[in-house]
Amino acid sequence: QSALTQPASVSGSPGQSITISCNGTGSDIGAYDYVSWYYQHPGKGPQLMIYDVSYRPSGVSSRFSGSKSANTASLTISGLQAEDEADYYCSSYTKFNTVIFGGGTKLTVL
Amino acid sequence: QVLLVQSGGEVRKPGASVKVSCKSSGYTFINSDLTWVRQAPGQGLEWMGWLSTYTGDTNYAQKFQDRVSMTRDTSTNTAFLELRSLRSDDTAVYYCAAKVATLGAPNDHFDLWGPGTMVTISS
């Protein structure tokens, strides 16, 4: 199975909104509403930001939101802040009872 | 405090094996499956497989099927990852992770991560 497809990089200015896409197939993103998003600061471990397409774990800012349409999931960050600069990874549960990650997107806050 | 604590960094020669441990605390070990994810230097996250901490059942990613073992010791709330026939491209940080806050199948997301164990393969 190939990794989910994410843009290598996105950027935005403080206060703006950005969206990161995550493209999969009918065997993963399109099959279930089990898409997650992770934040990873360089040198640190991943942190769950969104699960089950659009749910936020306790403690995650409401500026982060998730959605899905067919085989594509999206993460939107509104009111961009400097501290949002990090790598973001999507993941999806698959028909094969496995999990697949995206290649990661580097977010730069200008 | 809900934690996953991993063993320290390892250096191995090509062809050798390595065993990494992941000890849980602060939650009921057998209630949450344990997943292993690795990240090569400068690369993305790669799902390796999961272990049912309750039954010991496993599901491995196809690329690791023939050289990985995931086990657990319920008496010490510890899970183990063993990777055999190591190659230079196995150099990576190995994370254990669990879904703790929301119980139940499937094991699709991970809200608790260990700090990672750096495994270096070098001749």
Assign A56 a pLDDT band (cuts: 50, 70, 90). Answer: very high
Alpha-carbon gap, residue B100 to B87, rounded angstroms = 33
List CB contacts (< 8 A) between A31 and chain B: none
* Res B18: pLDDT: 98
> Is B45 in contact with A93 (Cβ distance < 8 A)?
no
Mean pLDDT of chain B: 96
Q: Are A74 and A29 in contact (CB under 8 A)?
A: no
Which residue, chain included where needed, has tokens 């279930």? A32
Residue of B nearest to A5 (CA): B44
Per residue in B8-61, pLDDT (tens digit) is 999 999 999 999 999 999 999 999 999 999 999 999 999 999 999 999 999 999
Which amino acid appears at position B62 of this protein?
A: Q
Residue of A nearest to B43 (CA): A103
Assign B99 a pLDDT band (cuts: 50, 70, 90). Answer: very high
**Residue A30: other Cβ atoms inside 10 A:** 16
pLDDT at residue A1 is higher than 80 = no
List CB contacts (< 8 A) between A92 and chain B: 108
Assign B106 a pLDDT band (cuts: 50, 70, 90). Answer: confident
Distance from CA of B48 to the nearest CA of A (A): 9
Distance from CA of A14 to the nearest CA of B (A): 26
Alpha-carbon gap, residue B98 to B4, rounded angstroms = 9
* Res B79: pLDDT: 98
| Most distant CA pair in chain B, distance | 43
Smallest Cβ–Cβ distance between A89 and the set B35, B45, B62 belongs to: B45
Residue of B nearest to A49 (CA): B111
